[in-house]
Chain A
Amino acid sequence: MNFKKQKHSPGKIHSSNTLETYDEMFKRLKKNKKGAFVPFIVAGDPEFETSLQIVKTLLESGADALEIGFAFSDPVADGPTIQESDLRALDSGMNTQKSFEFIKRIREFTSIPIGLLVYYNLIYKKGVDEFYKEAKRCGVTSILSADLPPEEAEEALQAAKKYNINQIFLVAHTTQKNRLDKICQMASGFIYLVSVMGVTGARKEVQNSTVDLIKRIRNHSDLPVMVGFGISKSSHVKDVIQAGAQGAIVGSAIIEIISKNHDKPELMLQKIKKETSKMKEATLIEVI
């Protein structure tokens, strides 16, 4: 695999103080009048080494940060595409320890922010403090648990603070004003805006209400907003960034390519490259 070095990449990293923070990433992008393109994949889908190749391809396409899921047997907030991805990873022998190992391997070649998406039981079972400590050791920038609302997040927040990891929270269309205030206070790094009613999965278009919600959050808080769930085309990326979001998180659209082509790795990587490059291009902010 021919791995070209990232143009914007702040260079090789190895100690945690040279890792890029979300703040630094957003600043760098702002200067270039761009939004963030953040791909999501599940660690170890379809298996460990191929998955690492996928990460390298995503970086070549211009990923500004990565969201990496730890495979879980019962991912209720995800649609069928990501659930199958979880199950493929588990079938290939992935577990929590190997997923951390995966992050360490990624850290050998990039310093951009890495966010984890982990269902809470995996964190709880390992021990909250222990999990965050290990995450820090591996170079994780942020952690998001799809099934951990602010009501239950006290222990996680403590650990996040202790190990200097950003705790990410979701905001949805259904989130009311008071709650939005509370979440904005608790969150750090960025606000993860769920763009659709429902679970993850590819969608035809970005809902108007998403655009309204981006504006609502922007009026509320200085935290950057990234939009995920259902962002599956370069036009969606463009729409949410034009609407004022600082970035777009794209999962199912990439994972669908993995699903359909994982028995032909070269072709799969080509397709991912093509699709995600278009998405990165769509992050250019047009001044109207």
Chain B
Amino acid sequence: MIESGKFGKYGGIFAPELLIPALEELESAFLKYKDDKKFNQELEFYLKEFAGRPTNLYLAKNLSQKLGCRIYLKREDMLHTGAHKINNTLGQGLMAKYMGKKRLIAETGAGQHGIATAAVGALFGMPTDVYMGMEDVKRQRLNVFRMEISGAKVIPVETGSKTLKDAINESMRDWMTNVQDTHYLIGSTMGFHPYPTMVKHFQTVIGKETKNQILEKEKKLPDVIIACVGGGSNAIGIFSEFIPDSEVELIGVEGGGHGIKSGNHGATLCAGSEGVLHGSLSYVLQDTDGQICEAHSVSAGLDYPGVGPEHAYLHTQRRARYVNVTDSQALRGFQLLSCYEGIMPALESAHAIAYMEKYAQKPENKGKTIVVNLSGRGDKDMFLAASILGVEV
């Protein structure tokens, strides 16, 4: 490997030997193509014409008025397939094509990343297999169908807890077996090097656009940026451009599930500890021996017992602050944005909205300029939200 893939002490390459050559190949392709003119032109084309970039930075007038702040929403929810995930799948998918890979595999929780990968597989004519925990397959029938209609094969995972972490385990196993012709398209800023760096690279488009847009609209940087954190890709995508601007507060919102005390949550940075999971040293939810715990969040995208290593670094450096929001608070965020602004957020993004409300209500934050990364739209969550709210649809 050319680089160590470390953020401070976090990150690294905790990978089985069989994968090392593939990771070396991937790293060198990434280092080559990230600055390659032709590659970037083609990627820009697809981001614009296929995915619908740039996304707007939208001033949420009604909420701004209600809360006494200037609240901007970065509208990643407007992207094709419904979330920021497509930025990364287009980037990695195109790279896989340039590398001559014949097949894509991906893990998915709720299905957002699986759908974005299936779309890119269809676009580039690459057979795509998506691993999905059996529990999630049952909860997200519609998304399974969406992937299948795009030509992807959804493989239910019956091992372990039958959720996202097991889907990742299974994807890694597939990759170990088929490493020569297959690209493993990891969906967040996690895993072994070069994934955290590469996924971040493809998501920084969010922060770059945001910076230009806010400077144009407000003639100054925002006071705070708020984003939800599962693996951490939408958050790092919007944070990274602002990390050098120390006056901009960065807040990551984790899935608080039933509350930290309940033990049922996905708040890895708030309540976890250092450990090695899925290829990197970061924070994980684990017992005193290092056995990985199951996470819980109402939103499948935040339902993961690990977190990207760069967030562990930002957390310990105190450059970003990590908080959590419970399932029921997130549901309130979901309703709040829907009824004040006519925008239904994904339940993941609703965590960021819920924390934004809490933040804006503090007297010391009155009048601040707040940017919330609206990572995805709520369509996928309507059945779930309805059932929690006791509505039959």
Contacts and interface: CB of A to CB of B under 8 A. Distances in A.
A10 B222 CA distance: 73
14 contacts: A73-B160, A74-B166, A83-B159, A125-B286, A147-B16, A148-B14, A149-B14, A149-B17, A151-B13, A174-B22, A197-B179, A197-B180, A198-B173, A199-B176
A176 B281 CA distance: 25
A124 B176 contact: no
A87 B169 CA distance: 14
B317 interface: no
B13 A74 contact: no
Given A151-B12, A176-B21, A194-B18, A126 B173 contact: no
B291 A124 contact: no
B17 A172 contact: yes
Interface of A: 72-77, 79-80, 83-84, 87, 90, 95-97, 120-122, 124-126, 146-149, 151-152, 169-176, 179, 194, 197-199
Contacts of B275: 121, 124-125
Contact of B292 (A73, A170, A172, A176): A73
B266 to A, nearest CB: 16
Contacts of B176: 77, 197-199
A133 B20 CA distance: 29
B129 to A, nearest CB: 15
B276 interface: yes
Given A77-B176, A147-B14, A172-B17, A124 B160 contact: no
Interface in B271-324: 274-279, 281, 284, 286, 288-292
B74 to A, nearest CB: 34
B169 A174 contact: no
Nearest to A120: B276
Counting chain A CB atoms within 10 Å of each CB, the highest count among B17, B173, B180 belongs to B17
Given A77-B16, A87-B160, A179-B20, A125 B290 contact: yes
A124 B286 CA distance: 12
A107 B241 CA distance: 57
B18 A198 contact: yes
Given A74-B292, A124-B290, A147-B276, A174 B15 contact: no
Interface in B338-368: none
Contacts of A97: 289
Nearest to A192: B17
A121 B177 contact: no
A146 B291 contact: no
What are the 9 A-B residue pairs with the smallest beta carbon separation, nearest first? A125-B290, A198-B177, A170-B17, A174-B21, A121-B290, A77-B16, A172-B18, A121-B276, A73-B291
Contact of A76 (B4, B169, B177): B169
B1 interface: yes
B251 interface: no
B95 interface: no
A17 B160 CA distance: 41
A72 B14 CA distance: 15
B291 A72 contact: yes
Interface in B156-175: 159-160, 165-166, 169, 172-173
A74 B166 CA distance: 8
A152 B277 CA distance: 14
Nearest to A80: B159
Nearest to A198: B177
A76 B278 contact: yes
Given A170-B16, A171-B17, A122 B177 contact: no
B277 A175 contact: no
A207 B176 CA distance: 16
Contacts of A175: 17, 20-21
A74 B160 contact: yes
A202 to B, nearest CB: 14
Contacts of B278: 74, 76
Contacts of A120: 14, 276
Interface string B170-196: 001100111110000000000000000
Nearest to B25: A174
B17 A194 contact: yes
A124 B281 contact: yes
B156 to A, nearest CB: 13
Given A83-B159, A121-B277, A147-B276, A126 B290 contact: yes
Contacts of B178: 197
A199 B176 CA distance: 7
A125 B286 CA distance: 9
